[in-house]
Chains A and B, each alone.
Chain A
Amino acid sequence: MKRTQFSSPVLPYLFLLPQMTVVFIFFYWPSVQAIQSSFYLEDPFGFGSTFVGLSNYTDALGSGEYLKIAWFTAVFTIVVTFLSLSIGLLLAAKADGVIRGSSSYKTLLICVYAIAPPVAGLIGMMFFDQHIGPFVKLAAWAGWDMKVGINYYDTAFAMIVVSVWKQIPYNFIFFLSGLQGVPVSIREAAAIDCRSPARRFRTVMLPLLAPTAFFLLVINMTYSLFDTFGIIDVIVKDKAANNPITLVYKVYMDGFRGNDIGGSSAQSVILMIVVFVLTVFQFRFIERRVHYN
């Protein structure tokens, strides 16, 4: 890391100020608020609050419903992360083989994918529309009476497919630029050293992609946990309560629909702790194994 000299000792802090302000207003302050209100029972009509200690936490963790949602969230996160990473990688590897050397094609391909995610999300949702969704029709044709929003497993299936579908372009772009970043001469050396392209990919390309993959792993887990909120909202909105939802969605339901601010705060604090532990784990045990240069 290069050391830059500033003429005034205050200047660097001044540069940091806007960023720190944003972080403070939108992250620390709400976090502190959440932690605080998680110890109180708030009157739904806003007439004061009562200190209840840890009971919001014990309520949440002791509830069978909460644990079921936690379980679903874990499965959902793992499945979505795994599928969107592996499909993104597969597509990137195929595209990489084709566009080697033709950079205009590459820019074009990346442009298309860069515009895609929000649109892809919408299209994905339409696939599962009960009336016009082609996926539902396809399933019906194959003898599967798909009832998204009514049947627990059908809904879970749709959520996973749309979430994966939406995240693939993102992973694709990163994997593709990761692959393109591997020096040509290293690929060539590998081509001379190893005849099988699949083996070459596994033993040379994949390890060199590990930093990218690690980064995407963190991003995708965060995505599955939090950013799928919109998809879940569209799929289960105003539908029967026995639909699968993730923990984040439950925080929202209890807080904004159920007006249980204390319980909802306790749940978000639990989520914060989970994410914190996951992040520490990822950086401690995975990150140090993937950086070579």
Chain B
Amino acid sequence: MAHVTIDRVSKDYQAGVRAVDSVSIDIADSEFIVLVGPSGCGKSTLLRMVAGLETITEGEIGIGGRVINHVDPADRDIAMVFQNYALYPHMTVRNNMAYGLKNRGMNRADIEKRVAEAAAILRLQDYLERRPRQLSGGQRQRVAMGRAIVREPAAFLFDEPLSNLDAKLRVDMRGEIKQLQKRLGTTSIYVTHDQLEAMTMADRIVVLNGGRIEQIGTPLDVYRQPQSAFVASFIGSPAMNLITARGESGNLVIGDQTVVMDGAMTVPDGPVTLGVRAEDMKPADHGATAHLELAIDYVEELGAGRLVHGHVGDARLALSTPSGEPLSDLLPIVFDRQRLHLFDTATGRRL
């Protein structure tokens, strides 16, 4: 157990090609950090630098107060769970878990004990003598977890460990990993491109884009106060509506309609990017004044509710409503005006 510090770390694969650009994260002891971002944003690269599988071009990484830039991966006191599990195909489940301990010269009895404990936690007792190819995907995943936890390392590193599982198993394992991490209290860095995994598992989320950090914060922070249009569009499902609007004397002009703000938030004059989540709009009650009239394009029925897609001028919007009454073609809607997000059209930063 240890805190992990990532201090202005950069990675160039070739000269001029920055995969990770001056990233700094302070990870507290026992914290569960999730690195999330689109494909190619550098999250695996960052994790692999912590693991020692990639060299660090610039900056410093410390684990438990010790700078580990030039420490051998085996001596960093970390354990990693790989996307394809990377189990040793020629070893039994037991030996897969024991291998790292044997190489560290631990005595036989202690190894036995740790493997037995891990197997009990992960419900692998019946499979200890099998080889990886005789296991299901979910079981292999648990063996990979077991191999990490027997080590009792300072930090766990996960690189998309659930992406090879089917949807249902993924949800189950998500809960299991999270619980296990809380119980063991081991500092963890978890890489995923799935924002839902990030939201449900993280103590804090780090959103990466193009090798840079867009935002670091708790899941709620990142959801409620996205610091950039990129974060706003990446976190949350359905994705936040991002439309171009114009500020005019404190009100928002969308297409040919004006949303009267009544000072609910300060709107600068000129073009802005307006962000609004599907659940922060609803059809206006009868008689109430609507903020906007939405021309409906189509409706997605989701069972628990429905997602109504429409447009105002050029701007496309989706809002969630309860299922039920049929909708007219032109739907008057009201915003939860405190929950609107404004971003700079040029930089994408939150205003």
**Interface residue range, chain A:** 20 to 34
Given known A193-B74, A195-B75, contact A188–B100 (CB-CB < 8 A):
no
Complex-state Cα separation, A293 to B134, whole angstroms: 10
Complex-state Cα separation, A191 to B72, whole angstroms: 9
Instruction: Give the dominant DSSP class at A's interface.
Output: helix
* Among A192, A195, A196, A207: residue with most chain B CB under 10 A: A192
Contacts of A1 in B (CB 8 A): none
Rounded to whole Å, the gap between the CB of A279 and the closest CB of chain B is: 24
CB atoms of B73 and A204 under 8 A apart: no
Complex-state Cα separation, A198 to B101, whole angstroms: 17
Given known A188-B53, A292-B131, A293-B133, contact A193–B99 (CB-CB < 8 A):
yes
Residue A190 is within 8 A (CB to CB) of chain B in the complex: yes
Question: CB within 8 Å of B: which of A196-236?
Answer: 196, 199, 203-204, 207-208, 210
Query: In chain A, what residue has the closest Cβ to B151?
Result: A193
Given known A185-B82, A199-B103, A293-B133, contact A192–B88 (CB-CB < 8 A):
no
Contacts of B83 in A (CB 8 A): 185
Residue A194 is within 8 A (CB to CB) of chain B in the complex: yes
Complex-state Cα separation, A190 to B73, whole angstroms: 10
CB atoms of B84 and A191 under 8 A apart: no
Rounded to whole Å, the gap between the CB of A11 and the closest CB of chain B is: 34
Partner of B88, one of A186, A191, A196: A186
Complex-state Cα separation, A194 to B72, whole angstroms: 10
CB atoms of A292 and B86 under 8 A apart: no
Query: In chain A, what residue has the closest Cβ to B76?
Result: A192
Contacts of A207 in B (CB 8 A): 90
CB atoms of A191 and B99 under 8 A apart: no
Partner of A185, one of B72, B79, B86, B147: B86
CB atoms of B103 and A188 under 8 A apart: no
Contacts of A193 in B (CB 8 A): 74, 99-100, 103, 147
Contacts of A46 in B (CB 8 A): none
Complex-state Cα separation, A190 to B52, whole angstroms: 12
Contacts of B73 in A (CB 8 A): 188, 191-192
Question: CB within 8 Å of B: which of A225-281?
Answer: none
Given known A195-B74, A208-B89, contact A203–B82 (CB-CB < 8 A):
no
**Interface residue range, chain B:** 20 to 34
Contacts of A292 in B (CB 8 A): 89-90, 131, 133
Contacts of A196 in B (CB 8 A): 103
Query: In chain A, what residue has the closest Cβ to B98?
Result: A193
How many pairs of A and B residues are in contact by the CB < 8 Å rule? 64
Residue B201 is within 8 A (CB to CB) of chain A in the complex: no
Given known A188-B53, A203-B99, contact A195–B86 (CB-CB < 8 A):
no
Partner of A204, one of B78, B88, B131: B88
Residue B51 is within 8 A (CB to CB) of chain A in the complex: yes
Residue B222 is within 8 A (CB to CB) of chain A in the complex: no
Interface string of A119-152 (1 = CB under 8 A from B): 0000000000000000000000000000000000
Question: CB within 8 Å of B: which of A99-114?
Answer: none
Complex-state Cα separation, A141 to B53, whole angstroms: 49
Rounded to whole Å, the gap between the CB of A220 and the closest CB of chain B is: 23
CB atoms of B133 and A192 under 8 A apart: no
CB atoms of A186 and B100 under 8 A apart: no
Query: In chain A, what residue has the closest Cβ to B100?
Result: A193
CB atoms of A293 and B103 under 8 A apart: no
CB atoms of B72 and A195 under 8 A apart: yes
Rounded to whole Å, the gap between the CB of B154 and the closest CB of chain A is: 13
Rounded to whole Å, the gap between the CB of B131 and the closest CB of chain A is: 6
CB atoms of A188 and B72 under 8 A apart: no
CB atoms of A194 and B99 under 8 A apart: yes
Contacts of A190 in B (CB 8 A): 88
Contacts of B75 in A (CB 8 A): 195
CB atoms of A185 and B89 under 8 A apart: no
Interface string of B72-112 (1 = CB under 8 A from A): 11111011101110111110000000011001000000000
Residue A189 is within 8 A (CB to CB) of chain B in the complex: yes
Query: In chain B, what residue has the closest Cβ to A210?
Result: B90
CB atoms of B103 and A208 under 8 A apart: no
Residue A97 is within 8 A (CB to CB) of chain B in the complex: no
Given known A183-B86, A207-B90, A292-B131, contact A192–B103 (CB-CB < 8 A):
no
Question: CB within 8 Å of A: which of B18-68?
Answer: 51-53
Query: In chain A, what residue has the closest Cβ to B80?
Result: A192
CB atoms of A194 and B89 under 8 A apart: no
Contacts of B74 in A (CB 8 A): 191-195
Complex-state Cα separation, A190 to B87, whole angstroms: 9
A-B contact pairs, 28 of them (CB 8 A): A183-B84, A185-B83, A186-B87, A188-B51, A188-B53, A188-B80, A189-B80, A189-B82, A189-B87, A189-B88, A190-B88, A191-B52, A191-B53, A192-B51, A192-B52, A192-B78, A193-B99, A193-B100, A193-B103, A194-B100, A195-B74, A203-B99, A204-B88, A208-B89, A208-B90, A292-B89, A292-B90, A293-B133
Enumerate the 6 nearest inter-chain pairs by beta-carbon distance, A residue then B residue, closest first: A193-B100, A195-B74, A185-B86, A189-B86, A194-B103, A207-B90
Instruction: Enumerate chain B interface residues (CB-CB to A < 8 A).
Output: 51-53, 72-76, 78-80, 82-84, 86-90, 99-100, 103, 131, 133, 147
Sample of 17 further A-B pairs with CB below 8 A, known A185-B82, A186-B89: A186-B86, A186-B87, A188-B51, A188-B80, A189-B82, A189-B86, A190-B88, A191-B53, A192-B79, A192-B80, A193-B74, A194-B103, A195-B75, A207-B90, A208-B89, A293-B89, A293-B133
Instruction: Enumerate chain A interface residues (CB-CB to B < 8 A).
Output: 183, 185-186, 188-196, 199, 203-204, 207-208, 210, 292-293
